[in-house]
Amino acid sequence: MWQVFSENWEFFLLGTYPRGPIGGLAMTLIIAVVSLAITFPFAIGVALLRGSKSVWVRRACEAYTTLIRGCPLLMLLLWIYFFLPQLLGFPLSPFTTLVIAIVFFQTAYLSEVIRGGIEALHKGQTEAALALGLKRWMIIWKIILPQALYNVIPGILNQFTSVIKETSLAYVIALGEVTYSASQVNGILMTRPMEVYMVLAALYFVLCFSLTQIAGLLDRRIARNRSAVR
Protein backbone atom coordinates (compact mmCIF):
# COMPACT_ATOMS: atom_id res chain seq x y z
CA MET A 1 0.00 0.00 0.00
CA TRP A 2 2.79 2.42 0.93
CA GLN A 3 4.57 1.56 -2.29
CA VAL A 4 1.49 2.37 -4.36
CA PHE A 5 1.22 5.73 -2.64
CA SER A 6 4.92 6.62 -2.80
CA GLU A 7 5.09 5.83 -6.51
CA ASN A 8 1.90 7.73 -7.37
CA TRP A 9 1.60 10.36 -4.62
CA GLU A 10 1.71 13.31 -6.99
CA PHE A 11 -1.22 11.89 -8.91
CA PHE A 12 -3.19 11.16 -5.74
CA LEU A 13 -2.60 14.60 -4.30
CA LEU A 14 -2.50 16.88 -7.35
CA GLY A 15 -3.69 14.90 -10.40
CA THR A 16 -1.81 15.77 -13.57
CA TYR A 17 -0.80 19.22 -12.25
CA PRO A 18 1.44 21.05 -13.24
CA ARG A 19 1.43 19.39 -16.67
CA GLY A 20 -2.36 19.27 -16.88
CA PRO A 21 -5.36 20.47 -14.89
CA ILE A 22 -5.23 20.25 -11.09
CA GLY A 23 -6.88 17.15 -9.62
CA GLY A 24 -6.58 14.59 -6.84
CA LEU A 25 -6.95 15.51 -3.20
CA ALA A 26 -6.30 19.18 -4.02
CA MET A 27 -9.37 19.19 -6.26
CA THR A 28 -11.41 17.48 -3.55
CA LEU A 29 -10.51 20.28 -1.16
CA ILE A 30 -11.18 23.01 -3.71
CA ILE A 31 -14.67 21.63 -4.45
CA ALA A 32 -15.44 21.30 -0.74
CA VAL A 33 -14.23 24.78 0.21
CA VAL A 34 -15.90 26.53 -2.72
CA SER A 35 -19.18 24.67 -2.15
CA LEU A 36 -19.24 25.40 1.57
CA ALA A 37 -18.34 29.07 1.04
CA ILE A 38 -21.34 29.46 -1.30
CA THR A 39 -23.60 27.31 0.88
CA PHE A 40 -22.95 29.35 4.00
CA PRO A 41 -24.79 32.61 3.15
CA PHE A 42 -27.67 30.66 1.58
CA ALA A 43 -27.98 28.48 4.68
CA ILE A 44 -28.08 31.56 6.94
CA GLY A 45 -30.76 33.01 4.69
CA VAL A 46 -32.93 29.89 4.80
CA ALA A 47 -32.43 29.54 8.58
CA LEU A 48 -33.62 33.13 9.10
CA LEU A 49 -36.55 32.79 6.68
CA ARG A 50 -37.78 29.77 8.63
CA GLY A 51 -38.46 32.21 11.45
CA SER A 52 -40.23 34.64 9.09
CA LYS A 53 -43.55 36.23 10.00
CA SER A 54 -45.09 35.07 6.73
CA VAL A 55 -46.56 31.57 6.86
CA TRP A 56 -45.90 31.09 3.14
CA VAL A 57 -42.22 31.94 3.37
CA ARG A 58 -41.87 29.59 6.34
CA ARG A 59 -43.69 26.81 4.50
CA ALA A 60 -41.68 27.27 1.31
CA CYS A 61 -38.40 26.96 3.23
CA GLU A 62 -39.68 23.98 5.14
CA ALA A 63 -40.81 22.31 1.90
CA TYR A 64 -37.38 22.89 0.37
CA THR A 65 -35.47 21.38 3.30
CA THR A 66 -37.85 18.43 3.57
CA LEU A 67 -37.67 17.68 -0.14
CA ILE A 68 -33.89 17.92 -0.33
CA ARG A 69 -33.40 15.80 2.74
CA GLY A 70 -35.56 13.16 1.12
CA CYS A 71 -33.50 12.72 -2.02
CA PRO A 72 -30.01 11.33 -2.66
CA LEU A 73 -27.29 13.73 -3.75
CA LEU A 74 -26.38 11.49 -6.66
CA MET A 75 -29.86 11.89 -8.12
CA LEU A 76 -29.70 15.64 -7.65
CA LEU A 77 -26.32 15.68 -9.37
CA LEU A 78 -27.68 13.75 -12.37
CA TRP A 79 -30.68 16.07 -12.63
CA ILE A 80 -28.47 19.12 -12.66
CA TYR A 81 -26.04 17.48 -15.06
CA PHE A 82 -28.73 16.62 -17.60
CA PHE A 83 -31.51 19.20 -17.10
CA LEU A 84 -29.90 22.45 -16.02
CA PRO A 85 -27.88 23.03 -19.25
CA GLN A 86 -31.12 22.50 -21.23
CA LEU A 87 -32.98 25.00 -19.09
CA LEU A 88 -30.17 27.54 -19.23
CA GLY A 89 -29.35 26.97 -22.89
CA PHE A 90 -25.58 26.68 -22.34
CA PRO A 91 -23.34 23.87 -21.08
CA LEU A 92 -21.96 23.73 -17.54
CA SER A 93 -18.52 22.45 -16.64
CA PRO A 94 -18.43 19.33 -14.43
CA PHE A 95 -16.96 21.51 -11.65
CA THR A 96 -19.86 23.99 -11.76
CA THR A 97 -22.37 21.15 -11.97
CA LEU A 98 -21.01 19.47 -8.84
CA VAL A 99 -20.75 22.73 -6.89
CA ILE A 100 -24.37 23.63 -7.72
CA ALA A 101 -25.53 20.17 -6.62
CA ILE A 102 -23.65 20.29 -3.33
CA VAL A 103 -24.77 23.87 -2.58
CA PHE A 104 -28.39 22.95 -3.26
CA PHE A 105 -28.08 19.85 -1.11
CA GLN A 106 -26.04 21.22 1.78
CA THR A 107 -28.03 24.45 2.17
CA ALA A 108 -30.89 22.30 3.45
CA TYR A 109 -28.72 20.57 6.07
CA LEU A 110 -26.61 23.52 7.11
CA SER A 111 -29.66 25.77 7.51
CA GLU A 112 -31.04 23.24 10.00
CA VAL A 113 -27.78 23.38 11.97
CA ILE A 114 -27.86 27.19 12.02
CA ARG A 115 -31.53 27.29 12.90
CA GLY A 116 -30.75 25.10 15.89
CA GLY A 117 -28.16 27.65 16.97
CA ILE A 118 -30.65 30.50 16.65
CA GLU A 119 -33.39 28.71 18.56
CA ALA A 120 -31.03 27.74 21.36
CA LEU A 121 -30.47 31.39 22.26
CA HIS A 122 -32.23 32.72 25.33
CA LYS A 123 -35.18 34.88 24.28
CA GLY A 124 -33.97 37.52 26.72
CA GLN A 125 -31.29 38.44 24.17
CA THR A 126 -33.88 39.56 21.64
CA GLU A 127 -35.97 41.22 24.33
CA ALA A 128 -33.03 43.19 25.69
CA ALA A 129 -32.13 44.35 22.20
CA LEU A 130 -35.76 45.30 21.48
CA ALA A 131 -36.02 47.18 24.77
CA LEU A 132 -32.96 49.23 23.82
CA GLY A 133 -34.69 50.21 20.57
CA LEU A 134 -32.59 48.23 18.07
CA LYS A 135 -34.22 47.52 14.73
CA ARG A 136 -35.08 43.92 13.79
CA TRP A 137 -32.39 43.37 11.17
CA MET A 138 -29.81 44.98 13.45
CA ILE A 139 -30.77 42.54 16.21
CA ILE A 140 -30.33 39.63 13.82
CA TRP A 141 -27.05 40.89 12.46
CA LYS A 142 -25.37 42.15 15.63
CA ILE A 143 -26.91 40.11 18.44
CA ILE A 144 -28.44 36.86 17.20
CA LEU A 145 -26.19 35.67 14.36
CA PRO A 146 -22.80 36.22 16.04
CA GLN A 147 -23.91 34.14 19.02
CA ALA A 148 -25.81 31.51 17.05
CA LEU A 149 -22.98 30.91 14.56
CA TYR A 150 -20.36 30.76 17.29
CA ASN A 151 -22.36 28.10 19.08
CA VAL A 152 -22.71 25.93 15.97
CA ILE A 153 -19.09 26.09 14.75
CA PRO A 154 -18.66 22.35 15.55
CA GLY A 155 -21.85 21.54 13.63
CA ILE A 156 -20.59 23.54 10.67
CA LEU A 157 -17.25 21.67 10.75
CA ASN A 158 -19.05 18.33 10.85
CA GLN A 159 -21.05 19.42 7.84
CA PHE A 160 -17.76 20.20 6.17
CA THR A 161 -16.67 16.56 6.55
CA SER A 162 -19.90 15.49 4.86
CA VAL A 163 -19.13 17.81 1.98
CA ILE A 164 -15.65 16.30 1.60
CA LYS A 165 -17.14 12.83 1.32
CA GLU A 166 -19.81 14.02 -1.10
CA THR A 167 -17.20 15.39 -3.50
CA SER A 168 -16.41 11.77 -4.40
CA LEU A 169 -19.53 11.86 -6.57
CA ALA A 170 -17.45 13.93 -8.99
CA TYR A 171 -16.35 10.50 -10.21
CA VAL A 172 -19.65 9.95 -12.08
CA ILE A 173 -19.34 13.16 -14.09
CA ALA A 174 -15.63 12.58 -14.80
CA LEU A 175 -14.32 15.43 -12.66
CA GLY A 176 -10.75 14.66 -11.61
CA GLU A 177 -10.72 14.67 -7.84
CA VAL A 178 -9.14 12.09 -5.56
CA THR A 179 -11.56 9.19 -6.15
CA TYR A 180 -11.20 9.70 -9.88
CA SER A 181 -7.41 9.78 -9.51
CA ALA A 182 -7.52 6.50 -7.59
CA SER A 183 -9.55 4.82 -10.31
CA GLN A 184 -7.07 6.03 -12.90
CA VAL A 185 -4.11 4.73 -10.92
CA ASN A 186 -5.95 1.45 -10.58
CA GLY A 187 -6.54 1.40 -14.31
CA ILE A 188 -2.83 1.81 -14.99
CA LEU A 189 -1.60 -0.73 -12.42
CA MET A 190 -4.42 -3.19 -13.16
CA THR A 191 -3.28 -5.73 -10.55
CA ARG A 192 -3.42 -3.99 -7.18
CA PRO A 193 -6.95 -2.58 -6.66
CA MET A 194 -6.92 -3.47 -2.96
CA GLU A 195 -3.88 -1.32 -2.23
CA VAL A 196 -5.02 1.58 -4.43
CA TYR A 197 -8.37 1.86 -2.73
CA MET A 198 -6.80 1.47 0.70
CA VAL A 199 -4.71 4.53 -0.10
CA LEU A 200 -7.89 6.35 -1.10
CA ALA A 201 -9.61 5.33 2.12
CA ALA A 202 -6.62 6.48 4.16
CA LEU A 203 -6.62 9.88 2.48
CA TYR A 204 -10.31 10.47 3.19
CA PHE A 205 -9.92 9.18 6.71
CA VAL A 206 -7.02 11.46 7.62
CA LEU A 207 -8.87 14.49 6.29
CA CYS A 208 -12.24 13.79 7.90
CA PHE A 209 -10.80 12.46 11.15
CA SER A 210 -8.76 15.60 11.73
CA LEU A 211 -11.81 17.77 11.02
CA THR A 212 -14.03 15.87 13.47
CA GLN A 213 -11.24 16.05 16.07
CA ILE A 214 -11.10 19.83 15.69
CA ALA A 215 -14.90 19.98 15.86
CA GLY A 216 -14.89 17.96 19.08
CA LEU A 217 -12.24 20.19 20.61
CA LEU A 218 -14.16 23.35 19.74
CA ASP A 219 -17.38 21.79 20.97
CA ARG A 220 -15.90 21.19 24.43
CA ARG A 221 -14.43 24.66 24.56
CA ILE A 222 -17.69 26.34 23.49
CA ALA A 223 -19.66 24.28 26.02
CA ARG A 224 -17.26 25.48 28.69
CA ASN A 225 -17.65 29.13 27.69
CA ARG A 226 -21.40 28.78 27.62
CA SER A 227 -21.60 27.25 31.09
CA ALA A 228 -19.51 30.16 32.34
CA VAL A 229 -22.18 32.55 31.12
CA ARG A 230 -24.86 31.07 33.26
Give the binding site for other proteins (CB under 8 A): 122, 124-125, 127-135, 138, 142-143, 146-147, 150, 225, 228-229
Q: How far, in Å, are 123, 129, 219 from residue 135 at the CA level?
A: 16, 8, 31
Burial 188-224 (b: 16+ CB within 10 A, else e): eeeeeeebbbbbbeebbeebbeebeeebeebbeeeee
Closest distance of CB 148 from other proteins, Å: 10
With respect to other proteins, which residue has the nearer C-beta, 7 or 127? 127
In the bound complex, what is the minimum distance in angstroms from residue 106's beta carbon to other proteins? 26
Minimal distance, residue 225 CB to other proteins, in Å: 7
Nearer to other proteins, 188 or 229 (CB): 229
> Which residue, 156 or 163, has its beta carbon nearer to other proteins?
156
d(CA 53, CA 55): 6
Least separation in angstroms between residue 5's CB and other proteins is 45
Shortest approach of other proteins to residue 153 CB, angstroms?
13
Nearer of residues 34 and 134 to other proteins, judged by Cβ: 134
CB of 56 to other proteins, least distance (A): 23
Quote the CA–CA distance of 78 and 57 in Å, as a whole number: 28
CA distance linking residue 85 with residue 199, whole number of Å: 35
Nearer to other proteins, 59 or 135 (CB): 135
3 state DSSP class of 192? coil
Distances (CA, A) of 156 to 12, 109, 127, 214: 27, 10, 27, 11
43 or 139, CB closer to other proteins? 139
Q: How far apart are CA 61 and CA 39, in angstroms?
A: 15
Nearest to 72 by CA among 36, 49, 102, 100: 102
